[in-house]
Amino acid sequence: MFRFGNPEYLYALIVIPVLFVLFVYFNRRRKKALREFGRPEILAPLMPGVSRSRPVWKFWLLCFALAFLIVGIARPQFGSKLQKMKRKGIEIIIALDVSNSMMAEDIQPNRLERAKMAISRLTERLSNDKIGLIVFAGDAYTQIPITTDYASAKLFLSAISTHIVPVQGTAIGAAIDLGIRSFTPDTESSKAMIIITDGENHEDDAVEMARLAAENNIVVHTIGMGLPQGGPIPLYNASGQKDFRRDKSGNVVVTKLDEKTLQQVAAAGNGKYIRANNTEVGINSLFDEINKLQKTELESRVYSDYNDQFIYFIVVALALVLIEFTILERKNKLLKNIRLFKKTA
């Protein structure tokens, strides 16, 4: 496992492109000033000690030295000891609807993006709990297995779109079934599932699957994404022009929130139903409810010891500075026949 002990220092790397721009700027000014005295090819014999390539090599050596120095200060580290840690927490699986209807913009910027932002904020509140993510449309797939790696969870979450599931539809029951099988087996930990969808279920018996989850001591909560009046599903062509999804008769399809189904699913799963709006999604309210569940010991593997590797980067930086120091900007009379920086034909 690799990490930086002080990653904030890596922002200093922005200095390097700034130095490059300044180097190019002053180099052009120097050439312009030289041309005021005459043509470069005529002035060259008058300046036999001047080298064009040496200042460039010196500049790049200093840039690389600076880069290695900054990385070294950021303290690169490798995990050297993997241990099993026991922490008290709960297991949460979020099932996110990625069907086309989740692109409706009755909730801004659209239902799917608003749900993703809420899930991302939820991961920032987690500490010792485990989280997993399932995506579903006409079928359900595991996007993130149950884990305590919240950074990876946020990374995978950002890549979710309506194209991630090839079969369209809204199979809430399949998502619950997969969720039941995705929790850590043979544990007595408290388990909760959050279904985030617009509720237009046409594929299976979601209520029966929620009842089965409750029998397995899994609480099923639902969040309704969408407003009662609904909204059209936008389509964008290659030039960015906006249209809306239409039925076979050419009428604009309006997708509406199916609150009745989601209320029934939550009731069968011994959970709560919350309707999202443009102010809040409601996932934080559900987390407060889930947090009341009894916390049990959860086992996870974490790196407990990290070895600093900064010394190697500092040594390379010092070596590059030493090399840069030994290269003179002007040609040495004693070494003028040694042309290290001249290309051979």
For 121-140, what is each residue's pLDDT tens digit?
888 888 888 899 999 999 99
User: What percent of the chain has a predicted confidence (pLDDT) above 90?
Assistant: 43
Domain match, 16 and 146 both:
no
- DSSP for 295-339? PEEEEEEEEEEEEE-HHHHHHHHHHHHHHHHHS-SB--STTTT--
Domain match, 48 and 114 both:
no
- Is residue 252 within 8 Å of residue 244, measured between CB atoms? yes
pLDDT score of 181: 94
Domain match, 30 and 111 both:
no
pLDDT tier for residue 237 given thresholds of 50, 70 and 90:
confident
Domain match, 124 and 212 both:
yes
Answer yes or no: is 205 within a domain: yes
Write down the H helix ranges in 91-133: 111-123
pLDDT score of 302: 53
- Residue 3, classed as helix, strand or coil, is strand
Answer yes or no: is 344 within a domain: no
* pLDDT, mean over the chain: 84
pLDDT score of 81: 56
CA–CA separation, 97 vs 196, rounded Å? 6
Q: Which domain holds residue 52?
A: 2-79+307-326
Domain match, 101 and 248 both:
yes
Token output for 187:
């544990």
Q: Average the pLDDT over each of 74-78, 259-263, 312-316, 329-333 and give the range with the smallest value.
A: 329-333
Q: Average the pLDDT over each of 151-160, 197-206, 244-253 and give the range with the smallest value.
A: 197-206
pLDDT tier for residue 84 given thresholds of 50, 70 and 90:
low
Domain match, 192 and 55 both:
no
pLDDT score of 289: 82
Domain match, 313 and 222 both:
no
CB burial of residue 154 (10 Å; 0-12, 13-18, 19+): middle
Domain match, 64 and 198 both:
no
Answer yes or no: is 342 within a domain: no
| Structural domains counted in the chain | 2
Domain match, 270 and 169 both:
yes
Answer yes or no: is 131 within a domain: yes
Domain match, 19 and 142 both:
no
Answer yes or no: is 339 within a domain: no
pLDDT score of 331: 58
pLDDT score of 4: 82
CA–CA separation, 101 vs 48, rounded Å? 74
> Does 168 have pLDDT greater than 80?
yes
Q: What is the DSSP letter of 100?
A: G
Exposure string (b/e) for 79-114, b if CB count within 10 Å is 16 or more?
eeeeeeeebebbbbbbbbbbbbbbbbebbeebbbbb
**What CATH number should be reported for the domain holding residue 243?**
3.40.50.410
Q: What is the DSSP letter of 251?
A: P
CA–CA separation, 179 vs 167, rounded Å? 18
pLDDT tier for residue 5 given thresholds of 50, 70 and 90:
confident
pLDDT tens, residue by residue, 249-270: 889 989 989 999 999 999 999 9
Domain match, 189 and 270 both:
yes
Query: Regarding predicted confidence, which is higher, 265 or 237?
Result: 265
pTM across the whole model:
0.63
Residue 242 pairs in a beta bridge with 236
Answer yes or no: is 185 within a domain: yes
- DSSP for 186-214? T----EEEEEEE-----SS-HHHHHHHHH
CA–CA separation, 44 vs 27, rounded Å? 17
> Does 85 have pLDDT greater than 70?
no
- Residue 223, classed as helix, strand or coil, is strand
> Does 113 have pLDDT greater than 90?
yes
Domain match, 137 and 207 both:
yes
Phi, psi (5° rounding) for residue 89? -170, -165
Answer yes or no: is 8 within a domain: yes
pLDDT score of 238: 78
Answer yes or no: is 332 within a domain: no
- Range 83-94 average pLDDT: 76
- Range 71-97 average pLDDT: 79
CB burial of residue 23 (10 Å; 0-12, 13-18, 19+): middle
pLDDT score of 271: 94
pLDDT score of 154: 87
pLDDT tens, residue by residue, 292-304: 876 766 555 555 5
Query: Regarding predicted confidence, which is higher, 150 or 336?
Result: 150
pLDDT tens, residue by residue, 12-52: 999 999 999 999 998 888 777 767 666 666 656 655 556 67
pLDDT score of 119: 92
> Does 205 have pLDDT greater than 80?
yes
